[in-house]
């Protein structure tokens, strides 16, 4: 125990590690790796306080060896799932406020890219043909945002700024500047659908085959929340059938498994992984590596908030921000 650092960071990419090193007070020791817990092969936690993102799989046996886990993410479903799997969970923290603008802009980037058929435009530059490239403008189109929290509300604001008709879908309508509808009323009207929901046990597989049969043919779907909400197998079928006109994904079903397979270049037979790889080959689908948060501004805020959380816990034994419903 005496040789342990004060905090150990898993899944720290280069820019993030540099910012964390600069901001963390010198009296606290830290170590960093770009690997997930499972990729690292660590048999025991390297610190009583560890920090992860979203792809690390937390060993149940570590629960009694940890004082705290900080997720450097706005989502906390993986923390709650871990807490439910062990008799007594360590303290849990997350970062609710650092990336709403960055993620919302990525959603906009994706839907506009798909509406204007940009991948195909770029490919056809080689022959300078314009056949099949006619796209759509945002103004006057209907944007449906499913899950209107901090990120979802920012998506709505961007849509309003583009002259879109915006409908929010949420169990708790808390923003007065939005019109809300139920999912059954909103979905058939949508030209663009953005999934910004929190993942929980009740909504796993929310955007399923039956749901896609209710959409306007040619609608564009964007998921910047959690891949478990929109199974890739159903998305692939909806694109092939023309029920959807485009799909943009920054998150994926069983993402730790997919990410590890792609980084190691090992083939996998899992149906969701196979479907995701098939989606990534299509002109009408965009897949990005859970990177919507990754702007210089958001990384700076993320690192600052992470350090605030760590300093708070090491000084007082409590995080500033804890997941709702955490034990």
Q: Catalytic site residue 253?
A: no
Catalytic option among 141, 290, 301, 305: 290
Q: Catalytic site residue 153?
A: no
The helix (run of H) or strand (run of E) holding residue 20 is helix 14-23
Catalytic option among 78, 226, 301, 305: 226
Phi-psi region of 146 (alpha: psi -120 to 50; beta: other; left: phi over 0): beta
30-32/68-71 β-pairing: unpaired
Residue owning tokens 């690390």? 56
- Whole-angstrom distance, CA of residue 142 vs CA of residue 197: 19
User: What DSSP line would sit under 139-205, residue for residue?
Assistant: TT-EEEEES-SHHHHHHHHHHHHTT-EEEEE-SS---TTSEE--HHHHGGG-SEEEE-PPP-TTTTT
142-146/91-93 β-pairing: unpaired
Q: Catalytic site residue 255?
A: yes
Catalytic option among 255, 272, 301, 305: 255
In angstroms, how far is CA 291 from the centroid of its own chain?
8
Residue 180, classified by CB atoms within 10 Å of its CB into exposed (0-12), middle (13-18) or buried (19+), is: middle
Tokens coding 188:
């058939």
- Whole-angstrom distance, CA of residue 99 vs CA of residue 103: 6
Query: Helix (H) and strand (E) counts for the chain?
Result: 12, 12
Active site residues: 226, 255, 290
């Amino acid at each position: 125990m005496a040789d342990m650092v004060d905090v150990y960071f898993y899944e720290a990419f280069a820019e993030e590690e540099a910012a964390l090193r600069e901001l963390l007070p010198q009296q606290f020791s830290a170590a960093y790796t770009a690997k997930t817990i499972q990729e690292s092969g660590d048999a025991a936690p390297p610190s009583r306080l560890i920090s992860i993102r979203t792809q690390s799989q937390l060993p149940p046996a570590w629960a009694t060896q940890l004082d705290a886990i900080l997720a450097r993410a706005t989502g906390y479903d993986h923390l709650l799932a871990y807490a439910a799997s062990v008799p007594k969970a360590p303290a849990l923290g997350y970062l609710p406020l650092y990336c709403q603008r960055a993620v919302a802009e990525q959603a906009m980037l994706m839907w506009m890219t798909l509406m204007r058929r940009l991948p195909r435009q770029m490919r056809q530059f080689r022959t300078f043909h314009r056949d099949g490239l006619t796209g759509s403008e945002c103004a006057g189109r209907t944007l449906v945002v499913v899950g209107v929290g901090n990120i979802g509300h920012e998506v709505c604001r961007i849509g309003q700024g583009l002259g879109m008709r915006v409908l929010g879908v949420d169990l708790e309508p808390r923003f007065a500047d939005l019109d809300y509808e139920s999912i059954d009323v909103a979905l058939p009207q949508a030209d663009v659908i953005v999934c910004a929901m929190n993942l929980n046990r009740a909504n796993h597989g929310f955007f399923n085959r039956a749901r896609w049969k209710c959409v306007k043919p040619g609608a564009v779907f964007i998921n910047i929340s959690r891949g478990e909400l929109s199974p890739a197998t159903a998305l692939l079928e909806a694109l092939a059938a023309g029920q959807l006109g485009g799909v943009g994904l920054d998150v994926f079903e069983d993402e730790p498994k997919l990410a590890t397979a792609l980084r190691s270049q090992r083939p996998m037979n899992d149906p969701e992984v196979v479907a995701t790889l098939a989606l990534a080959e299509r002109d009408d689908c965009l897949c990005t590596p859970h990177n919507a948060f990754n702007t210089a501004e958001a990384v700076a805020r993320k690192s600052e908030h992470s350090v605030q959380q760590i300093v708070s816990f090491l000084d007082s034994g409590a995080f500033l921000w804890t997941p709702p419903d955490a034990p």
